[in-house]
Amino acid sequence: VCLESERSYYMAFNGAQFHLLVNHIPVVGFPFLIVLLLIASETKIIEIKKFTLIVAVAIGMSSLAAFWTGEPAEDVIEDWPGVSAQLIHGHEELAEKSMVVAVLTALAAAGAYLLQRRRPESINKGLGVVLIFALITTVLLILTAHEGGKIRHPEIMNTDSSNIKSH
Condensed to tens digits (0 to 9), the pLDDT of residues 103-150 reads 999 999 999 999 999 999 999 999 999 999 999 999 999 999 998 888
* Per-residue model confidence (pLDDT) at position 39: 98
Q: What is the pLDDT of residue 164?
A: 47
Tell me: the pLDDT tens digits for 2-61?
Answer: 555 555 566 678 888 888 888 999 999 999 999 999 999 999 999 999 999 999 999 999
In terms of C-beta density within 10 A (0-12 exposed, 13-18 middle, 19 or more buried), how is residue 57 classed?
buried
Pick 167 or 50 by higher pLDDT.
50
- Residue 62 pLDDT grade (very low, low, confident, very high; cuts 50, 70, 90): very high
- Model confidence, pTM: 0.83
The whole-number pLDDT of residue 60 equals 97
pLDDT, residue 167, reads 46
Confidence of residue 87 (pLDDT cuts 50, 70, 90): confident
pLDDT value at position 97?
Answer: 97
As a whole number, mean pLDDT of residues 151-160 equals 72
Place 160 in a pLDDT band, splitting at 50, 70 and 90. low
